[in-house]
Amino acid sequence: MKALLAAAGFATPEAAVMKEPLPVYAAGSLREVLTEIAQAHEVHTGQKVVLTLGASGLLRERIENGEAAMVFASANTEHPQRLADSGAWAPYQVFVRNSLCALTSDGVSTTPQTLLATLLDPAIRVGTSTPKADPSGDYAWALFRKADAVQPGAYTRLDAKALKLTGGADSPKAPAGRGTYAWVMDQGQADVFLTYCTNAEAARQEVPRLRVVSVPPTLQVGAAYGVTVRQGAPASAQAFAQMLLAPWAQATFARHGFDQP
């Protein structure tokens, strides 16, 4: 049995399994996929994992303020790099990637080719997450900068009109059982919301009348997710972080719409 598990990438050395639950802090966009992976990891290794999910920047601040995370899986590389720079955490490793998409209401008709014009339309309310607190917001502003190279002046217009609706410390929370982006769009808070493609697809599944539009290559910025482990953490922490790159875990990420590192 151990040989079969090892071949599947599940095996964890007995010394790397601790009795205490392993505290893992992770980006909210990983909620569904990482919950599935953590459950499989626990079943096949015996290591219980406790996930704390939220905006990566806010999680990093909580860690810096003393919370006892042992693994941090961020939706960008800047936050884990900041922890590593402190000397208390190991250098990060990119374990998965994502892309930006536009989630639109059914009243908005746009395509990848017309997306920029739609975003710049004064009548269109553009929703984003909150920069600095949530990498999704940082990626949206990176898209605005790329837009400026396509159409001079676009950055200033988008920067002024974008609505920071999610990911901040004071952002309204979706009701229990509702996805954040599906709820925001269902409430009519924005006409177009720039978010990860995985989030957009999940929102469309929850509210089928919503539409998902790909961001064209000229505007796409991509998202690299980095994982880091606290220096001196139990071996189970390093084992969990490395497991994220195992073939079975990567296949699970792919099934949820994420890209390989």
pLDDT digits (tens, 9 = 90+) for 82-98: 999 999 999 999 999 99
Q: How confident is the model at residue 30 (pLDDT cuts 50, 70, 90)?
A: very high
Determine phi and psi for 73, rounding to 5 degrees.
Answer: -110, 105
Q: What's the rounded mean pLDDT across residues 8-19?
A: 56
What confidence category does residue 169 fall into, taking pLDDT thresholds of 50, 70 and 90? very high
Q: How far is residue 56's CA from residue 124's CA, in Å, rounded to a whole number?
A: 28
**What mean pLDDT is reported for the chain?**
93
The yes-or-no verdict on residue 14 having pLDDT over 80 is: no
* Cα separation, 181 vs 104, whole angstroms: 11
Residues 6+ apart with CB under 8 A from 73: 24, 25, 26, 27, 30, 34, 95, 225, 226, 227, 241, 244
| pLDDT at residue 6 greater than cutoff 50 | no
pLDDT, tens only, 188-236: 999 999 999 999 999 999 999 999 999 999 999 999 999 999 999 999 9
pLDDT of residue 133: 97
Instruction: Provide the residue type at 197 as one letter.
Output: C
pLDDT at 16: 63
**Residue 12: pLDDT over 90:** no
- Whether the per-residue pLDDT at 132 is higher than 80: the answer is yes
Instruction: Say whether pLDDT at 1 is over 50.
Output: no
* Cβ neighbourhood burial of 93 (10 Å; 0-12, 13-18, 19+): middle
Nearest Cα residue to 29 out of 253, 260, 261, 207: 253
Least confident of 13-17, 115-119, 130-134, 217-221: 13-17
pLDDT for the residue 7: 42
pLDDT at position 19: 80
Mean pLDDT of 63-81: 97
Strands 192-196, 126-129: parallel, antiparallel or unpaired by DSSP? parallel
pLDDT of 57 strictly over 80: yes
The stretch 177-196 carries a mean pLDDT of 96
